[in-house]
């Protein structure tokens, strides 16, 4: 049976933005890896040429085909049709040829940092492109990104980041059959790291509105400040100060969703000297004001 007839992705008829969140930070961390996304785009061949000369990227690239088909050329040639994806490692030269009258694809440029040995081997030691048919979960995630690309707002950006991160984990899972590691040592290290993550996040969540410092976190997890800083970079992919800011913003967003608190009351709860300084801080990190964030949430619900 013709592979192209075995799976068809229902992409709908609506127009989508060909650039998803061009100015937003889609970096996301979980207990096994941190994904840093440089671009995430839905591209239509009637709006943008997909055929390219040989080139390479400083980051990994992922292509998923919704409609049509593409041919990727490296030392080996891969044809991808609806429901297929290809993972191209960073630094690997490749060219692309559009082989259908109309093609729609999802393309993500990203890099991965992880303490997980399997994920590191897949994303950071693979030196050739790898193509696979997507799993059912894969297709659902790709369709969700297609839908989200037409409804961009602050909350949607968070959900897109989560979907992209989960999609990259699906890639790792689908390619993991080619990787062998010492499973016992892998599980032991994952268990230790998960415990550290729980300790750090629990302490920050409980004290984030009390001017928590790096020294406070280090003392809570019984480590030196230097060790805590190093562990934070390894497990979360960012500085401890940035992690504290991210946790504080998440708690503030939760308070904004709960309309029983006024903006002034939330500013006081979060430890700001005035509603003005609170609004300036929130806008700096999110690109919108607390009032606008609350208003957008109320409209959607």
Same domain, 161 and 204: no
Same domain, 13 and 150: yes
The answer to whether the beta carbons of residues 203 and 217 sit under 8 Å apart is yes
Same domain, 10 and 96: yes
Percentage with pLDDT > 90 across the chain: 22
Q: Which two tokens stand for residue 16?
A: 């989508």
Same domain, 187 and 134: no
**How many residues can be counted in the chain?**
301
94: domain CATH number?
2.60.120.280
pLDDT at 11: 46
Q: pLDDT tens digit string along 21-49? A: 444 456 777 778 888 888 888 999 999 99
Tell which residue, 290, 225, 214, has the closest CA to residue 251: 290
Same domain, 100 and 76: yes
Cα separation, 243 vs 236, whole angstroms: 8
Q: pLDDT tens digit string along 60-117? A: 999 999 999 999 998 889 999 999 999 999 999 999 999 999 999 999 999 998 888 8
Cα separation, 278 vs 273, whole angstroms: 8
- Parent domain of 271: 183-300
Predicted model pTM:
0.56
Q: What is the mean pLDDT of the chain?
A: 80
Q: What does the DSSP 8-state code read for residue 134?
A: P
Quote the number of domains for the chain. Answer: 2
Same domain, 275 and 167: no
Tell which residue, 111, 108, 234, has the closest CA to residue 160: 108
Q: 116-119: long-range contacts (C-beta < 8 A, 24 or more apart)?
A: 116/32, 116/33, 116/186, 116/190, 117/181, 117/182, 117/186, 117/189, 118/172, 118/176, 118/179, 118/181, 118/186, 119/32, 119/33, 119/172
pLDDT at 189: 53
pLDDT at 188: 47
Range of weakest confidence among 96-105, 150-159, 190-199, 217-226: 150-159
The mean pLDDT value for 140-154 works out to 76
pLDDT at 98: 95
pLDDT at 6: 34
pLDDT at 296: 73
pLDDT at 15: 45
**How far is C-alpha 44 from the chain's CA centre?**
22
Q: Which two tokens stand for residue 221?
A: 């997890």
The last residue of one of the domains, among 141, 161, 178, is 178
pLDDT tier at 230, thresholds 50, 70, 90: confident
Same domain, 31 and 162: yes
pLDDT at 67: 94
Tell me how far CA of residue 177 lies from CA of 66, 78, 84, 280, in angstroms: 25, 20, 18, 49
């Amino acid at each position: 049976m013709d592979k192209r007839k075995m799976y068809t992705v229902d992409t709908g008829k609506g127009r989508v933005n060909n650039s998803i969140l061009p100015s937003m930070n889609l970096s996301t961390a979980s207990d096994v890896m941190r994904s840093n996304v440089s671009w995430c785009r839905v591209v239509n061949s009637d709006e943008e040429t997909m055929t390219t000369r040989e080139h390479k990227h400083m980051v990994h690239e992922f292509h998923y085909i919704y409609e049509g088909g593409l041919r990727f050329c490296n030392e080996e040639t891969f044809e991808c049709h609806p429901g297929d994806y290809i993972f191209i490692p960073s630094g690997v030269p490749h060219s692309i040829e559009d082989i259908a009258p109309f093609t729609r694809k999802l393309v993500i440029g990203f890099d991965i940092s992880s303490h997980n040995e399997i994920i590191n081997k897949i994303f950071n030691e693979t030196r050739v492109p790898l193509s696979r048919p997507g799993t059912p979960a894969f297709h659902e995630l790709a369709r969700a990104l297609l839908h989200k690309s037409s409804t961009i707002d602050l909350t949607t950006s968070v959900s897109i980041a989560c979907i992209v991160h989960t999609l990259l984990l699906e890639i790792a899972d689908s390619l993991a059959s080619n990787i062998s590691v010492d499973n016992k040592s892998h599980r032991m290290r994952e268990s230790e790291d998960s415990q550290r993550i729980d300790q750090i996040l629990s302490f920050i969540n409980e004290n984030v509105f009390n001017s928590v410092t790096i020294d406070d976190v280090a003392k809570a997890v019984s480590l030196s400040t230097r060790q805590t800083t190093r562990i934070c970079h390894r497990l979360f992919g960012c500085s401890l100060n940035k992690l504290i800011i991210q946790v504080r913003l998440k708690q503030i967003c939760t308070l904004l969703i709960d309309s029983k608190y006024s903006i002034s009351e939330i500013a006081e709860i979060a430890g700001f000297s005035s509603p003005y300084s609170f609004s300036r801080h929130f806008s700096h990190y999110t690109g919108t004001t607390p009032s606008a964030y609350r208003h957008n949430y109320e409209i959607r619900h």
